[in-house]
Amino acid sequence: MMLLTVIQTDTLSLFLCGIAGMALGLLYFGGLWMTIQRLPHTRSPIPFMLGSMIIRTAITVGGFYYVMNQHWERAVACLIGFVLMRVIFSSRLHPKRLPSPEDLGSAVSAHEREEP
């Protein structure tokens, strides 16, 4: 009976660590997406990008350290949730289709024809 309680507690703990990893991934990759969206409108993009990276990394590393609490199993569960959130972000926010070289070539030749 006692062993079953320990297993249930560990399973719940690992599940919650995975959820925490997803939350950290949401903060990290959501912050990255917001940074990239604001980057063209920023006066000084390099300090903005570096500041964003430092803040996102500090929050993520601190969150992993807090969730881990000296248990490597919790760190692995947190990492799985973090990577899962990265996959979700990558699939939902995929970049627009880039123009092919043929598209670029026709656009350049059309532009050259318009100039006097």
| Residue 116 falls inside a structural domain | no
Q: How many domains does the chain have?
A: 1
pLDDT of residue 72: 87
Q: What pLDDT, in 10s, does the model give residues 2-11?
A: 555 555 568 8
| Residue 36 falls inside a structural domain | yes
pLDDT at residue 26 above 80? Answer: yes
| Residue 1 falls inside a structural domain | no
| Residue 40 falls inside a structural domain | yes
CA distance 113 to 116: 8
Q: Which residue has the higher pLDDT, 39 or 101?
A: 39
Percentages of the chain per state (helix, strand, coil), in multiples of 5: 85, 0, 15
| Residue 107 falls inside a structural domain | no
Range of the domain at 40: 12-94
| Residue 54 falls inside a structural domain | yes
Q: What pLDDT, in 10s, does the model give residues 46-101?
A: 999 999 999 999 999 999 999 988 888 889 999 999 999 999 988 887 766 666 66
| Residue 101 falls inside a structural domain | no
Residue 22 in contact with residue 82, Cβ under 8 Å?
yes
pLDDT of residue 78: 94
Q: Which two tokens stand for residue 12?
A: 């719940």
| Residue 56 falls inside a structural domain | yes
